[in-house]
Amino acid sequence: MILKKYLYSPRNMFTGVISSSLTIVKSLIRRKYGFEKSITLNYPIEQYHYSDRLMGMPELVLNEKGKSLCTSCDLCVQICPTKCLELKGEVGKEPKLFSLSLSDCIFCGHCEVVCPDKAITMGNNHMLTGHKEEVLRLDFSEWKKLSSRQ
């Protein structure tokens, strides 16, 4: 469709001023006397609840005794595109060394798709800011501590 001809002719100044000011006055009245609340989210005081599908930090799934379900099959290490996971252990038992590097992880979710024991999931923790003195590589015990807390 070719755009209509009246869109190319400028309107004169008087109509323009009245039309623009009416639009702005209408939205001001709607805000003050209507039922629209302010849309600003006052961050440190209010929080926004993301859905369950949010791609946060990867977390380990623990059973009732506090042990992880991982059996050292090494598949998540092979598929990770940036090689941020490191694993050492015998197949079938709990790993001795399993660490995650937060400076390399791109939060893609491939490790969750591939794990056959469902031992690693993408959690809901998206607040990962840190000072420069904080260490960004989590070893096994620290990772288990952060996984249980929501």
Q: Closest approach of Cβ 29 to other proteins, in Å?
A: 13
Q: What Å distances lie between residue 75 and 46, 56, 93, 112, 132, CA to CA?
A: 40, 21, 15, 10, 32
The 10 Å Cβ neighbour count of residue 103 is 10
In this complex, which beta carbon is closest to other proteins, that of residue 88 or of residue 106?
Answer: 106
Dihedral angle sign, alpha carbons of residues 57, 74, 104, 66: positive
> Which residues contact other proteins (rule: CB under 8 A)?
1-3, 6-11, 13, 16, 19-20, 23, 27, 39-41, 43-44, 47-48, 50-51, 53-55, 73, 75, 78-79, 81-82, 101-110, 113-116, 118, 122, 126-137, 146
In this complex, which beta carbon is closest to other proteins, that of residue 23 or of residue 148?
Answer: 23
